[in-house]
Structure 1
Amino acid sequence: MGWLQVHQVIFSLVDIILLVLAAGTANWVIKRVLVRGLHKMMRSAAVGQAIARSRVVSRSANIIPALIIAVGIVWIPNLPEALVTVVRNVAHGFIVLTAGLAIAAALDIVNDVWQQRPDAHRRPIKGYVQVVKIVIYIIATILVIATLMDRSPVILLSGIGAMAAVLMLIFQDTLLSLVASVQISSNDIIRVGDWIEVPQLNADGFVIDIALHTVKVQNWDKTITTIPTKRFITDSFKNWRGMFESGGRRIKRSIFIDQNSIHFLTPEELEHLQQFNLLGDYLKKKQEELDEWNRALGEKGRKPLNTRRITNIGTFRAYVEQYLKNHPHVHQEMLMVVRQQNLSAEGIPLEIWCFTNTTVFVQYEAIQSDIFDHLLAIMPEFGLRVFQSPSGADFQALRPLTEAS
């Protein structure tokens, strides 16, 4: 009797070893031959490359060895029933887990293929894919637990109904992020590649990723700011996409003119300014308008204090308008305004409002600088000065005069 039991144990061990070898051999054949062969065949296609990166095939291949163990363990004689049940349930649980991971990897393929579309940045689906993956993970977890416990999943699901309030608290951020992702996508609030500013979060740069829970922004200093997706629904932010789509970027700057340099133009100054190509028509029409006005005054028009005369600041403003209208890098179909603003202690602000015909940052800054370089340099021709607060050098220049007096 003892001899028979020993042989039964040996036979069982041999069967177990053969079963493990069969599972291992199947795993080796599938991964080394079939999976590698499929990857080589699919490398040329974009979809094939996405499949290779996601490892969906290799994860699916793990199902076969586990299935061999689950089926083969039942056929090994003389094993305790409890051991057979545990091994079978663990193998089934592993199959369910592997299938869940393979489905999640397949969803990554869908996302990768979608991102290769030319309009993918307008309608990112990464958030939706992550939601589906969370659902798959939850279902897989329930099935794995039910399989290990050898119970029906319905029993676990009935218990989850009583835990709904707890689950709502646990997945509160996920639910809010899902709602935010739907609103962002449906309302086209942000896209990958948009330049956004979120001052309260110190974010200023381009959107590089939109996920379920977070949006990544690469700032101008190349740092990465991660923003919760729901903040784009609850907080205000600036999106510069409209500027890029319009084809023009606004220049809005002021030159502060010293009030003491403003005066009526003398005949000599008028003669000098008439040599400017951009001012010829303006000065002619302006002089005709003023002459007609002054003639209507009759005898009172003989006194200069009663007449209208051309000012240097008005002529300069007209020059700036003509300069912008003839500038090759200023967008002529967009708003263009040169206006005076309220007087201040810093002088008279002359605001220039126009748009460049490019949105490229470096080119925009170069055009803006060139415009103001020219205007600042040409101002003395009109008898105008830029206002500047006195510095230490100015007070030093006054010191010899003070000592002499």
Structure 2
Amino acid sequence: MRTFYKFLLDYLRDFGGTDIWVKPTAAFTTILLILIVAWLAHFATTQIILRIVHRLAKRTKTDWDDILVKNKVFKALAHLVPAFIIYYTADFAFPELHKELSELAPEALAELSKDHYFALAGFLVKIAKIYFTIIIVTVSNALLNSGMEIYNTTEFSHHRPIKGYVQLMKILVYFMSGIMILSVLLNRNPTVLLTGLGAMAAVLLLVFKDTILGFVASIQLSANNMVKIGDWIEMSSHGADGTVLDITLNTVKVQNWDKTISTIPTYALVSESFNNWKGMEESGGRRIKRSVAIDTNSIKFCDAAMLGRFEKFDLIRDYVLLKEQELKQYNKGKNLADEDFISGRHQTNVGIFRKYLEVYLKQHPQVHQEMTFLVRQLQPSGKGLPIEIYVFSKDQAWANYEAIQADIFDHIFAVIPEFELRVFQEPTGADIASIAKQSL
């Protein structure tokens, strides 16, 4: 390029041109030629070399090279070719000297300045260095994205996401590249700039507070296996109840069941409480915990007619017979009078009903028999006696789980009258109207 530049100078002067426009015209034309050559070199690199690399990547059995191609790692590296061309041709307008400029006499400098630019080479070198820095940033980002994608293909990536760490590395790359660009523009040593930034540490801590907190929280979440992508979490303080879509350095995205997206600060998952339903999903069952309120006015001892009817029910026949035999022997040992009914032990309709629910749920094909299984009474209140079902369904899918639960309680509400029990229900408008009509 130095030869081409000198050729242009001589060629333009032969046409009678003056140094006022000959030198800048020759320099501009040479720079334009450098840019054209750099572009052509980049074009040839991308069209020839990259095509060969892409074809080789497709033929290999491994996936990591395909991921590198997908994230444009080689395309970013192709920019090194024009960058080197600009860097090594930047001194085309600088004279070939065996001494420093400061050692030359003023007359010699004036003579050289007729054909050369002393500062242009330094300017073009700065442009090339900035170009190199941008290439390094681009290649680093592509490599980090590729590394994260390759890591995500492994089995343990689901339990140990590294997106937060990758984002932190990107921040460091951007930060260091910014320092390098400033050092090039200011012509200062980057270590001097880094030393000067020590005084700004307090400001940087305030600016990157959320990033620092998020980084620490990401380490804790990953180390303690508190949450991972795909987990169902519930965090009422942030209005989140759904599946974790993404875990980044600063935020955790949760898709709620109504398809809205909640964004939670990463450090909030460490500093605040949340429910992770992962244990339920991995246990093989989903809890059914629901009660039905029995009207206490309908609870009573079972007479012979009622027991005779219960003995016809296959699910509780054996229980009723064995229990009645046990109670008769107990009462007989107490030598109770026939009139002393309340001093003995007798079966109740609510007790037999509770036993019926146990047997019914034991035989239900969708109830998990190896997990917690309870049919219990809760504390009576002004709204009756709650009989609670505390079991686990085998199917964990939400829709199927709700269908199983509804099927169980459909049966319970339908069978309650067979035990001469009533479900407690607060008076409705129709009840009040019926009472008023009867009073008239």
Aligned match of 1:72 in 89, 107, 112? 89
Shift of residue 303 of structure 1?
A: 2.5
Aligned match of 1:47 in 64, 79, 82? 64
In structure 1, the partner of 2:315 is: 278
1-structure distance, mates of 2:308, 2:124:
105
Aligned match of 2:172 in 112, 120, 135? 135
Shift of residue 169 of structure 1?
A: 1.5
In structure 2, the partner of 1:340 is: 377
Aligned match of 1:22 in 37, 43, 53? 37
SS of corresponding position for 1:31: helix
- Asked whether the equivalents of residues 93 and 118 of structure 2 are also in contact (C-alpha less than 8 Å), the reply is no
- Asked whether the equivalents of residues 262 and 313 of structure 1 are also in contact (C-alpha less than 8 Å), the reply is yes
1-structure distance, mates of 2:207, 2:433:
70
Q: Please, which moves more after superposition, 301-310 or 336-345?
A: 301-310
In structure 2, the partner of 1:321 is: 358
For residue 37 of structure 2, what is the amino acid of its counterpart?
Answer: A
1-structure distance, mates of 2:195, 2:317:
89
In structure 1, the partner of 2:46 is: 31
For residue 367 of structure 1, what is the amino acid of its counterpart?
Answer: I
In structure 1, the partner of 2:10 is: none
Aligned: 1:163 with 2:180: no
1-structure distance, mates of 2:336, 2:312:
32
SS of corresponding position for 2:157: coil
Shift of residue 40 of structure 1?
A: 4.3
Shift of residue 334 of structure 1?
A: 0.7
Query: CA 1:299 to 1:364, structure 2 compared with 1: closer, same or farther past 3 Å?
Result: closer
For residue 23 of structure 1, what is the amino acid of its counterpart?
Answer: A
In structure 1, the partner of 2:156 is: 119
2-structure distance, mates of 1:49, 1:62:
20
2-structure distance, mates of 1:381, 1:302:
28
- Asked whether the equivalents of residues 67 and 92 of structure 1 are also in contact (C-alpha less than 8 Å), the reply is no
2-structure distance, mates of 1:131, 1:188:
20
Pairs aligned (count) = 403
Shift of residue 399 of structure 1?
A: 3.0
In structure 2, the partner of 1:82 is: 119
Query: CA 1:143 to 1:389, structure 2 compared with 1: closer, same or farther past 3 Å?
Result: same
Q: Please, which moves more after superposition, 292-301 or 197-206?
A: 292-301
Alignment of 1:234-249 (within 5 A): 234-249=271-286
Aligned match of 2:130 in 90, 93, 105? 93
Structure 2: segments with no counterpart, 5+ residues: 1-12, 95-114
1-structure distance, mates of 2:143, 2:342:
86
In structure 2, the partner of 1:204 is: 241
- Asked whether the equivalents of residues 337 and 353 of structure 1 are also in contact (C-alpha less than 8 Å), the reply is yes
In structure 1, the partner of 2:300 is: 263
Shift of residue 63 of structure 1?
A: 2.2
2-structure distance, mates of 1:3, 1:258:
113
TM, length-normalised to structure 2: 0.87
SS of corresponding position for 2:242: strand
- Asked whether the equivalents of residues 295 and 301 of structure 1 are also in contact (C-alpha less than 8 Å), the reply is no
Deviations 1:227-261 (A, max 9, x none): 11000011100000000000001111010001111
2-structure distance, mates of 1:10, 1:323:
98
Shift of residue 162 of structure 1?
A: 1.8
Aligned match of 2:411 in 370, 374, 378? 374
Q: Please, which moves more after superposition, 228-237 or 151-160?
A: 151-160
1-structure distance, mates of 2:58, 2:256:
35
2-structure distance, mates of 1:302, 1:395:
40
Structure with bigger gyration radius: 2
In structure 1, the partner of 2:346 is: 309
1-structure distance, mates of 2:26, 2:296:
109
In structure 1, the partner of 2:78 is: 61
Shift of residue 26 of structure 1?
A: 0.7
In structure 1, the partner of 2:430 is: 393
For residue 75 of structure 1, what is the amino acid of its counterpart?
Answer: F
1-structure distance, mates of 2:24, 2:177:
36
Shift of residue 32 of structure 1?
A: 2.6
Q: Please, which moves more after superposition, 291-300 or 225-234?
A: 291-300
SS of corresponding position for 2:337: helix
SS of corresponding position for 1:300: coil
- Asked whether the equivalents of residues 234 and 242 of structure 2 are also in contact (C-alpha less than 8 Å), the reply is yes
Give the aligned CA root-mean-square deviation in angstroms.
Answer: 1.8
Shift of residue 34 of structure 1?
A: 2.3
Query: CA 1:167 to 1:328, structure 2 compared with 1: closer, same or farther past 3 Å?
Result: same
Identical columns (%): 40
TM, length-normalised to structure 1: 0.95
Structure 1: segments with no counterpart, 5+ residues: none
2-structure distance, mates of 1:240, 1:377:
33
SS of corresponding position for 1:119: helix
SS of corresponding position for 1:197: strand
- Asked whether the equivalents of residues 378 and 385 of structure 2 are also in contact (C-alpha less than 8 Å), the reply is yes
Query: CA 1:9 to 1:303, structure 2 compared with 1: closer, same or farther past 3 Å?
Result: closer
Shift of residue 9 of structure 1?
A: 5.2
Q: Please, which moves more after superposition, 280-289 or 340-349?
A: 280-289
Query: CA 1:144 to 1:299, structure 2 compared with 1: closer, same or farther past 3 Å?
Result: closer
- Asked whether the equivalents of residues 331 and 357 of structure 1 are also in contact (C-alpha less than 8 Å), the reply is yes
2-structure distance, mates of 1:166, 1:37:
49
